[in-house]
Amino acid sequence: MKKQIGISLMLLMLIIAGCSKNADSSSDASSLISNPYSETEFLLGTVITIKVYDKDKEPALDKVFDRIEVLEQQMTANEAGSEVAEINEQAGKDPVEVSEDVWQVIKQGKDYSELAEGSFDIAVGPLTSLWNIGMDDARKPLQEEIDDILPLIDYKKIELDEAEQSVMLTESSMRLDLGAIAKGYIADEVIELLEEEGVTTAVVDLGGNIYVMGNQTSGDPWVVGVQNPFLPMGETVGRLTASNQSIVTSGIYERFLEVEGEIYHHLLNPQTGYPFEGELASVSVISEHSIDGDALSTLLYSKGLEEGLDFIQQMQDAEAIFVTKDKNVYITDGLAGNFELTDEEFTLIE
């Protein structure tokens, strides 16, 4: 018997309503509203909600969702006709010229794959397709099936031609899977478009990829709650304040497959073909750009607690929260004084 369980979000926004009369000097109080324009749609395989607090900026929402739809159509690997699907179709045959958006995601994805030394790899598509966790036909593959596709998972076999802005997978049956980075890029594009439309204050939730733009209408930073990975959606392990920052979480309870009483989560190790093993339940990354948080949250999870902490401490402009299966919480130095537990069952290790 197998059972598939999905949790769409790993972060909960805790927004403390502010009064416009208390707005800081950098904001025009009359330009902000306490009851935001809000729109929710199902895109990117998840529920997306965007809230805009700038007066008379509701039309920006339609433009943003149109942009998300275009980017999804370009980057999905599961629909014929997308640029990524065409790259996969032409694996071992011909290079494929791509748009600037797809080029940037693949280029940065390959850079992060190299940085991770293969524990994070955007060429993981054959493996994610084999397990298909999160889909109705998800299953535990046979060992021989895994053995057959592991040699195909190698970011070094992705050839990029900058002059032609083309991408080629050098071996037949290779597949790109941009799921660990594309949503972050799209979140950054949403923020850029909102800025172009004159928006200064917004909350963007792309199914767990959160970006808080500006401050609350009170002038205070946003308060962001980090989802407790062991409890239903809405229960938090802790919270922090943030302004003009992205918060992204990867966790083992986000999507998983249960087969004969054993749990297989969706974070797959491209070097073994099975879900990563270790003590981590989730990793949250706080960064200026969501594409970095998206890639790093998975990369850090793949490294494990000790190596992941060492890795992120050496990076600038990014902080992280590690939650272990035994309910210990570790934070990077830059979060000291800006993270507090909200669940007494957890222990903050300092």
pLDDT digits (tens, 9 = 90+) for 167-183: 999 999 999 999 999 99
For 144, phi then psi, to 5°, come to -65, -30
* Mean pLDDT value across residues 91-114: 98
Task: List CB contacts of 63: < 8 A, sequence separation 6 or more.
Answer: 193, 197
SS (H, E, C) 148-185: HHHHHCCHHHEEEECCCCEEEECCCCCCCCCCCCHHHH
Residue list for the binding site: 180, 294, 298
SS (H, E, C) 33-62: EEEEEEEEEEECCEEEEEEEEECCCCHHHH
Furthest-apart CA atoms within the chain: distance in Å: 65
5 — pLDDT class (breaks 50, 70, 90): very low
Q: Which of 83-92, 232-241, 310-319 has the lowest mean pLDDT?
A: 232-241
Residue 134 reports pLDDT greater than 70: yes
Instruction: State the pLDDT at residue 259.
Output: 78
Residue list for the binding site for Mg(2+): 180, 294, 298
28 — pLDDT class (breaks 50, 70, 90): low
231 — pLDDT class (breaks 50, 70, 90): confident
252 — pLDDT class (breaks 50, 70, 90): confident
* Mean pLDDT value across residues 212-236: 90
CATH number for the region 2-70+181-349 comes to: 3.10.520.10
**What is the model's pTM?**
0.90
Q: Which two tokens stand for residue 107?
A: 């280029």
332 or 254, greater pLDDT: 332
Residue 29 reports pLDDT greater than 90: no
Task: List CB contacts of 112: < 8 A, sequence separation 6 or more.
Answer: 120, 122, 181, 295, 296, 299
What is the total residue count of the chain? 350
Mean pLDDT of the chain: 90
Residue 6 reports pLDDT greater than 60: no
165 — pLDDT class (breaks 50, 70, 90): very high
Instruction: State the pLDDT at residue 254.
Output: 65
